[in-house]
């Protein structure tokens, strides 16, 4: 079995899968391994739709613990990485790796007007949970090509669904969270971001209300604590 199939087999029951990969180089750098070897391959692992949340809930998590989903995902990724001698980069931990740039280089995703990457099948309902660094140069399927669904989306409903126009001229987390946590924020709290939900692409993959509300609450907590600004961003050495 090849290494991607082996990682997918380890992760299949928890709703995670190898999204795509790339070979780092000067045009798309990535961190090296902790023993000093350069990474020959970076594999992006993520989820789409509700499978991850369903597996997480089936694990009977302690929802009063801090960041229970992130911790559970981290332990799943660590187990899968250990089996193939890989190291995990957490996209949510500073210094933030440029995971969206890596994703655009690795698979057929595109920047949407919301800043989230859009996938031709999953729409806006997919996330990158970790990057696995491997010393070897692994054979990779060629990245999908194709135009962004946003190019042919005439009315761009995502840009007209936010009650406080938080995406114009550029996304303002403060404007967003002031609304979500305020007296009129109930719909965003319950359904997640209304702009994300307005997109017609990949509707079958849209998050159920429970995970949408969980992620929204995490955004509110992060922004209110001021942790969304000023964190270090990963830079290649030299
Ligand atoms: C900090 C952060 C936030 C902050 C917002 C920071 C901000 N000022 O916008 C907060 C907490 C508010 C937030 C919220 C959310 N986030 Co966020 N966030 C991040 C994080 C950890 C770092 C972003 C960063 O600083 N990047 C800087 C450098 C590292 O990135 P870069 O690739 O060099 O630069 C890219 C972006 O900055 C972007 N960009 C830069 N300038 C501009 C300008 C414009 C106009 C646009 C459109 C884009 C853009 O394009 C660059 C190339 O891709 C990333 C993970 C990561 N490591 O990137 C997730 C990430 C971007 N978030 C993600 C998600 C899903 C969300 C939420 C939907 C969470 C939820 N509820 O589920 C919300 C939605 C917010 C929104 N509408 O965009 C996903 C997006 C997945 C995808 N499909 O693309 C990411 C990639 C995390 C992941 N694990 O997959 N987030
Ligand atoms: S609503 Fe249209 S423009 Fe907005 S993200 Fe979806 S496809 Fe792209
Ligand atoms: S969560 Fe609500 S307030 Fe925030 S950007 Fe989305 S629609 Fe706007």
Kindly identify the ligand whose nearest atom is closest to the C-alpha of 120: 2
For 75-125, the pLDDT digits (tens) are 999 999 999 999 999 999 999 999 999 999 999 999 999 999 999 999 999
Please tell me the distance from the alpha carbon of residue 1 to that of residue 55, in angstroms, as a whole number: 25
Which of the four pLDDT bands, split at 50, 70 and 90, describes residue 211?
very high
CB 216 within 8 A of CB 188: yes
DSSP symbol at 36: S
Q: What percent of the chain has pLDDT over 90?
A: 95
Rounded to the nearest whole angstrom, what is the distance from the C-alpha of residue 196 to the centroid of ligand 2? Answer: 9
Q: What is the pTM of this model?
A: 0.95
Rounded to the nearest whole angstrom, what is the distance from the C-alpha of residue 162 to the centroid of ligand 3? Answer: 5
Please tell me the distance from the alpha carbon of residue 237 to that of residue 131, in angstroms, as a whole number: 19
Which is the closest atom of ligand 3 to the Cα of 196?
6
Rounded to the nearest whole angstrom, what is the distance from the C-alpha of residue 119 to the centroid of ligand 2? Answer: 11
Rounded to the nearest whole angstrom, what is the distance from the C-alpha of residue 158 to the centroid of ligand 2? Answer: 6
Measured in degrees and rounded to the nearest 5, phi and psi for residue 117 equal -80, 140
For 161-170, the pLDDT digits (tens) are 999 999 999 9
For 182-208, the pLDDT digits (tens) are 999 999 999 999 999 999 999 999 999
Q: Which mutation among 113, 124, 162 tests ligand 3's pocket best, with the greatest number of atoms within 8 A of CB?
A: 162
Which residues are near ligand 2 (CB < 6 Å)?
112-114, 118, 149-150, 153, 156-158, 199, 201
Q: What pLDDT sits at residue 1?
A: 64
Is 174's pLDDT higher than 90?
yes
């Amino acid at each position: 079995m090849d290494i991607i199939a082996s990682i997918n087999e380890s992760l299949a029951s928890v709703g995670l899968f190898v999204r795509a990969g790339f070979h780092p180089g000067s045009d798309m750098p990535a961190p090296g391994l902790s023993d000093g070897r350069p990474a020959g391959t970076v594999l992006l692992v993520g989820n789409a739709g509700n499978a991850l949340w369903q597996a997480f809930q089936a694990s009977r998590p302690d929802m009063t613990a801090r960041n229970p989903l992130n911790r559970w995902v981290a332990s799943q990724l660590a187990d899968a990485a250990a089996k193939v001698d890989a190291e995990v980069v957490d996209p949510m931990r500073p210094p933030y790796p440029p995971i969206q740039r890596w994703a655009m280089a690795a698979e057929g995703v595109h920047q949407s007007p919301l800043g989230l990457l859009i996938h031709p099948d999953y729409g806006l309902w997919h996330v990158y949970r970790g990057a696995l660094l491997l010393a070897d140069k692994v054979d990779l399927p060629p990245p999908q090509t194709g135009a962004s669904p946003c190019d042919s989306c005439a009315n761009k409903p995502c840009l007209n669904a936010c009650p406080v126009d938080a995406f114009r001229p550029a996304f303002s987390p403060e404007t967003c969270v002031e609304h979500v946590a305020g007296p009129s924020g109930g719909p965003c709290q319950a359904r997640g971001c209304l702009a994300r939900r307005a997109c017609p692409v990949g509707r079958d993959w849209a998050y159920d209300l429970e995970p949408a509300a969980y992620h929204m609450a995490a955004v509110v907590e992060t922004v209110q604590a001021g942790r969304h600004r000023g964190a270090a961003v990963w830079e290649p050495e030299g």
